[in-house]
Amino acid sequence: MIPAVEITGVRKSFGDFTALHEINLSIAQQEFVSLLGASGCGKTTLLHCLSGLDDFDDGEVVLAGTSLRQLDDDRKTDFRARQTGFVFQSYNLLPVLNARENVELPLLLTGISGREASGRALDALDAVGLADRANHRPNALSGGQQQRVAIARALVHDPLLILADEPTGNLDSDTSAQVLNLLDSLTRQAGKTMLMVTHSPDVVGLADRVLCIREGHLEEVKR
């Protein structure tokens, strides 16, 4: 089976500072990998290179057999819109849109009709327990509810890969555990691959594999 993610020799610098040193990583399809490390060690930079949000200086990133280096900017943007789902610490919901409209966005960006997008968004909200909040804007939702909307948005377009960057960082411990378990269960049910940047020890217990970045170098954590 082709790996979901294959990273070979990736290096990324910002001026004289090298954020990533010769990163090599293979993630199997349907695997849940957590990524640990101190602030500023390169975790988010790796996510950005992996998703095509940032270019990298050397090396190769291949997602399900597609090399990001072989895609121009327009094709890379389209590939990212179709094949990746993002869950962020700060939720990144558009405040002028209600929950359903926020979840619809990945579908509309790939050319799906408004009617179909609306139906699929409602189904996704139902899966995260928020069907009754579909018409509420983010400011009328709690932090945990906003993150559940973000999870629905990340999964609604059936992407290959879920990238989660500190998804429970803004939540209290009880809400964090609920959101983390929901994200884990929905991702596994859908057969998705997930890479999660986190400081949470709870994630370590759920993940199939734990990695750590130290000063731009990637290593596996033995458990």
Let me know if 15 is exposed, middle or buried by CB neighbors in 10 A (0-12, 13-18, 19+): exposed
Q: Which pLDDT score is estimated for 154?
A: 96
Q: Give the orientation angle of helix 173-189 with respect to helix 143-155, to 10 degrees.
A: 10
> Is residue 168 helix, strand or coil?
coil
Tokens of 207: 């993940």
Q: How many C-beta atoms lie closer than 10 Å to residue 132's C-beta?
A: 10
Indicate the class that CATH gives domain 5-220. alpha beta
Tell me the C-alpha to C-alpha distance, in Å, between residue 143 and each of 46, 57, 89, 105: 26, 37, 10, 20
- From the CA atom positions of the chain, what is the Rg in Å? 17
The amino acid occupying position 90 is: S
* pLDDT computed for residue 40 by the predictor: 83
Q: What is the pLDDT of residue 204?
A: 83
pLDDT in tens, the chain (223 residues): 799 999 999 999 999 999 999 999 999 999 999 999 988 889 999 999 999 999 999 999 999 899 999 999 999 999 999 999 999 999 999 999 999 999 999 999 899 999 999 999 999 999 999 999 999 999 999 999 999 999 999 999 999 999 999 999 899 999 999 999 999 999 999 999 999 998 888 888 899 999 999 989 999 998 7
Tell me, what's the pLDDT at 201? 80
Give residue limits of the domains in the chain: 5-220
Q: How far is CA 81 from CA 14, 106, 109, 162, 221, in A?
A: 26, 7, 7, 12, 31
